[in-house]
Amino acid sequence: MRRAVLAAALLVAVAVHARSAPGLASTVALGPAQPVAAGAAAPGWTDALRASQAAIGRPLEADGIARLELRDALNQPVTLADYRGKPLVVSFIYTGCFQACPITTQRLAEGVKAARQALGADSFRVVSIGFNQPFDDPVAMGAFARQMRIADPQWQFLSLAAADVPRLTQAFGFSFTATPKGFDHLAQLTVVDAGGRIAAQVYGENFELPMFVGPLKDLMSGQAAQQLDLESVWRKVKLYCTVYDPVAGNYRLNYSLFFEIFCGVTVLAGVAIFMLRSLRRPRVAR
């Protein structure tokens, strides 16, 4: 009983504090309100952006997208359904790209490193999918990963059948156009929630860290809020107190928020104890 009361009080304290300190919340909005970073332009930019934003909220189970067979760099079959249970970041690339895709992948690597430090090493997964088929086969994707020096065991480079490229890219709202020099495409990262639903789009070759880490943090905080136990409450508090430091250019724990939450919990616990004692106190007949 006491643990349940404490957990509830802690959740209320976090919620109250979040409303009173909006400047400390994530700077990235999930859904259509999300800002677009410089460098996101592509042919038919308006249409491409509209298609990308329309994908937000789409479940990957729709039309069997989550069950499409892909191949990892070792030519082993996988599906997007295999990644359910944790947030997933999806990046579409083509291995013949000499500018945008390497830049975006390197920036993604920086974002992944910062996110793992802030949210936990095992908190989310990443896949890069080659859309230029049949050239982006498992061998080419593996070579691209080595070229980018990606050694993260929870980041896979995947291929798929050429016939499935339109279905998969359209489901994610990813647009690309063939040109004499390769492809022009929207610089886009897609964040999928643990249940397999598209939660956010991140744009630009050099996106800022809060644009990437923010949606992941929000998803993990939402998962923690769904479970009323001390471990989940502690995880939510820790996520809330993990804030972006623009001076240092990374995330850190803001210990002053811990202190404020502790004070709030102490006050709420005191009120709860007082109310319980008042209810148990025998009434004097008049």
What domains appear along the chain, each with residue ranges and CATH number?
A: 45-226 (3.40.30.10)
pLDDT tens, residue by residue, 33-71: 333 333 344 447 788 999 999 999 999 998 899 999 999
Rounded average pLDDT over 4-21: 35
Q: Percent of the chain beyond pLDDT 70?
A: 63
Please tell me what DSSP assigns to residue 35: -
pLDDT tens, residue by residue, 173-190: 999 998 888 898 889 999
pLDDT tens, residue by residue, 116-136: 988 888 899 999 999 999 999
Rounded average pLDDT over 207-230: 75
Q: How far apart are CA 237 and CA 224, in angstroms?
A: 9
Token pair 């498992």 in the structure block, residue = 138
3-class DSSP state of 154: coil
Q: Percent of the chain beyond pLDDT 90?
A: 47
Total residue count of the chain as it appears in this document? 286
Query: 82 vs 31, which has greater pLDDT?
Result: 82
* Banded model confidence at residue 137, pLDDT cuts 50, 70, 90: very high
Mean pLDDT over each residue of the chain, to the nearest integer = 76
pTM: 0.71
* Banded model confidence at residue 220, pLDDT cuts 50, 70, 90: confident
3-class DSSP state of 249: coil
Element (H, E) at 107: helix 100-119
